Amino acid sequence: MDEELERDEKVFLLGEEVAQYDGAYKVSRGLWKKYGDKRIIDTPISEMGFAGIAVGAAMAGLRPICEFMTFNFSMQAIDQVINSAAKTYYMSGGCQSVPIVFRGPNGASAGVAAQHSQCFAAWYGHCPGLKVVSPWNSEDAKGLIKSAIRDNNPVVVLENELMYGVPFEFPEAAQSKDFLIPIGKAKIERQGTHVTVVAHSRPVGHCLEAAAVLSKEGIECEVINMRTIRPMDIETIEASVIKTNHLVTVEGGWPQFGIGAEICARIMEGPAFNYLDAPAVRVTGADVPMPYAKILEDNSIPQVKDIIFAIKKTLNI
């Protein structure tokens, strides 16, 4: 965000506590001191209000980054995100673009119960007019947010609260101010031959852990980091399924009408279906509002053991 604020004076950030407090999760640390009140704007607790201001600013030629302290509260602003931002370019016949980024933490955190623990990837991925990205590691986070800010249409950036403090190797190429990750392209994080495992956000790490465990048993998993939810890179997933003949999807969201459900449907309808040697298996969050108690919370979110179980199930081991 700092690089893009510096690069383009039309870019500004607004949201709750993003300025003087340095951001609820310190994501915007130092930006207010560097850019001042006109570029880094603290808002009241009124998601519909400040999302509406941001959409109007985008229509008027600015490039706002609108932060929701948690995407659970983007529900307060869903009318602005969908009816005002996502549909305008189409409904104006391509005359009025809305270059806006909606970003903030998405999915389950730890010990914050149902109203702070929902994954909205499927919700926003459902809506034409939006692009939706879901980074896993530092490289994803930087490359995707920069591409989102430069995009001329609305982009929803679903970050993960539990990943903010996790360190990653940061390749030299990613340290360039011009480093971008194209929206709509997945990345194969681990090559494998026996089963394709597809995930986004934090579960990518769980899938890599599961793959490391299974590798010791002679099972080689191909792990795909989706990076983008909409438009979905189904070609990369299809090519992998054609190679491995098995598919497991992993997500933190609810099962019904979820990301895994969409991937399974696309594979069934496409050329990769005839290569499947077993039914595709979904690993998802439990179909309940998130419990507060830790032991129940742990059982409501996909764990490494759940992914291993699903992979062995599809491989009939």
Reported confidence tier of residue 222, pLDDT bands at 50, 70, 90: very high
Residues 140 and 229 grouped into a single domain = no
* Confidence at residue 181, expressed as pLDDT on a 0 to 100 scale: 98
Active site residue 194: no
Residues 210, 269 share a domain: yes
Q: Which ranges of 118-202 does DSSP label H, i.e. alpha helix?
A: 121-125, 138-150
CB distance 133 to 228 below 8 Å = yes
Residues 41, 150 within the same domain: yes
Question: Into how many domains does the chain fold?
Answer: 2
Q: 251-306: per-residue pLDDT in tens?
A: 999 999 999 999 999 999 999 999 999 999 999 999 999 999 999 999 999 999 99
- Mean pLDDT score, 199-203: 98
47 belongs to the catalytic site: yes
247-250/281-283 β-pairing:
parallel
Residue 23 pLDDT: 95
* Whole-angstrom Cα Rg for the chain: 20
Same domain flag for 153 and 267: no
Instruction: Mark which of 175, 208, 225 sits at the end of a domain.
Output: 175
Going through the chain in order, the beta strands assigned E by DSSP cover 11-15, 40-42, 63-67, 101-105, 131-133, 155-159, 187-190, 195-199, 221-225, 228-230, 247-250, 281-283
pLDDT category, 141, cuts 50, 70, 90?
very high
Please tell me the distance from the alpha carbon of residue 315 to that of residue 183, in angstroms, as a whole number.
32
User: Which residues have C-beta within 8 Å of that of residue 172, sequence separation ≥ 6?
Assistant: none
Task: Indicate whether 243 belongs to any domain.
Answer: yes
Residues 140 and 226 in one domain: no
Distance, in Å, from the CA atom of 98 to the CA atom of 88, rounded to the nearest integer, reads: 7
pLDDT tens digits, 77-119: 999 999 999 999 999 999 999 999 999 999 998 999 999 999 9
One of 47, 67, 139, 161 is an active-site residue; which one? Answer: 47
The residue with tokens 């890599």 is 208
pLDDT at 47: 97
Same structural domain, 196 and 161: no
| Site of tokens 């507060």 | 292
Average of per-residue pLDDT across 20-35: 96
Domain holding 249, by residue range, is 187-315
Q: One of 4, 16, 67, 116 is an active-site residue; which one?
A: 116
